[in-house]
Structure 1
Amino acid sequence: MKQPPGPGEVVLGGVDWGRWSVILLKPDCVRRGLTEAVLDRIRREVPVLAQRQMVVEDWQIFVHYWDMLVNKDWFTDRDMVACLRSNYVGEEVVVALAHGSEGIDTSAVVRSLLGHFDPAQAAPGTIRADFGIDALHLAGPQGRLVENLVHASDDATATCRDFGTWYGANEWSLLDLGGQ
């Protein structure tokens, strides 16, 4: 008998979002030609089933980073709205969809591969440590966001939101793996 979702798991529309993670390869990753190298590192641990290159629209980045906007008063050294617009809107990104086995928290697995959001503080062997060339202590005084290559959904709830933001309702077929 299948167990009900545990803490942190979300099942919506028959989708176990805990098994999925949306991965956003940011403009700095795309510009540096690192998208396949980053995805290859992730593929070693979890299958990446879909990916697409796209240009970011204004609404997408503000939905995606709503938490930074809600808490923007904490970021006194930079204008978060301006930073998000200049870093993302009109820029190319690659969005990928990872799917783990049953019982695996795919977002946690992917995020552990990425490392700390500040590449200078990321553990050796993580994606941000190995490929990162920026640091928070450099970005802050310049009033910009740190370039850290990639974002992945924080948890199952964020995966559901991120899927809606980057793929949309017309792409639910990507989540139908025939009962896997």
Structure 2
Amino acid sequence: MKTYALIIMKPDALEAELVEPIIQRFIEKGFLIEMIGFKSADEKSILTHYAHVVEKLGESFKKMAIAAFVGKPMVPIILSQDGENAIANSRELTGATDPTKAVPGTIRGDLGTDSFENADREGRCCYNLIHCSDSMESLLIEMKLWFGPKTYEIFAPMISSKI
């Protein structure tokens, strides 16, 4: 059985020229690239993507997210992997959201250079290279947001059948 995951390379990964090394790590762990995109993030996309975080953390996070991502390049990628755990495996490979808490061998643990502490002190979002969907439900929502309805129509039935 094949399952799916969605990752998004954030602007700091692109600026540090880490897209290829990060993709290579996923390939080495048995992931296949099903679709890759490139998008300049607009305010609506960012606020939709981070709506749950804005709801939790408030207006200050909203302003930081807009500053960190709007007008900047993002690379969304739909991945697949044999087995039932593509999302869990992608999150494990990515590592903890705070790079200082990510274990060695993970993407953020090996390649991350920022911390929540530094980001908080500087009043900005943490530069943590990559986003991973945390559930099949969020994968479907984020896939439609970052790839649009046509891609959603192709992949949603395959992904939904796994829920």
Shorter-chain TM-score above 0.5: yes
SS of the equivalent of 1:47 reads strand
1:44 aligned onto 2:44: no
Amino acid at match of 2:76: V
For residues 44-123 of structure 1, what are the structure 2 equivalents within 5 Å?
Answer: 44-45=28-29, 46-73=31-58, 79-101=60-82, 103-123=83-103
Mapped to 1, the partners of 2:23 and 2:107 lie a distance apart of: 10
Mean Cα displacement is larger for which, 166-175 or 117-126?
A: 166-175
Q: Which residue is equivalent to 1:167?
A: 147
Q: Which structure shows the higher helix fraction?
A: 2
1:33-64 deviations in whole A, cap 9, x for unaligned? Answer: 11111111011221122112210111111111
SS of the equivalent of 1:41 reads helix
Mapped to 1, the partners of 2:64 and 2:50 lie a distance apart of: 11
Q: Which residue is equivalent to 1:19?
A: 3
Q: Which residue is equivalent to 1:155?
A: 135
Give the structure-1-normalised TM-score. 0.81
SS of the equivalent of 1:79 reads helix
Give the structure-2-normalised TM-score. 0.89
Q: Which has the larger radius of gyration?
A: 1
Shift of 1:173: 6.2
8 Å Cα contact 2:26/2:90 also seen in 1: yes
Where has structure 1 moved over 2 Å in runs of 4 or more? Answer: 172-177
Mapped to 2, the partners of 1:173 and 1:67 lie a distance apart of: 24
Mean Cα displacement is larger for which, 24-33 or 45-54?
A: 45-54
Amino acid at match of 1:165: L
Mapped to 2, the partners of 1:116 and 1:31 lie a distance apart of: 21
Amino acid at match of 1:104: E
Q: Which residue is equivalent to 1:34?
A: 18
Mapped to 1, the partners of 2:5 and 2:46 lie a distance apart of: 17
8 Å Cα contact 1:50/1:174 also seen in 2: no
Mapped to 2, the partners of 1:158 and 1:172 lie a distance apart of: 13
Q: Aligned pairs, how many? A: 156
Gaps of 5+ in 1: 1-15
8 Å Cα contact 2:95/2:106 also seen in 1: yes
Shift of 1:20: 1.4
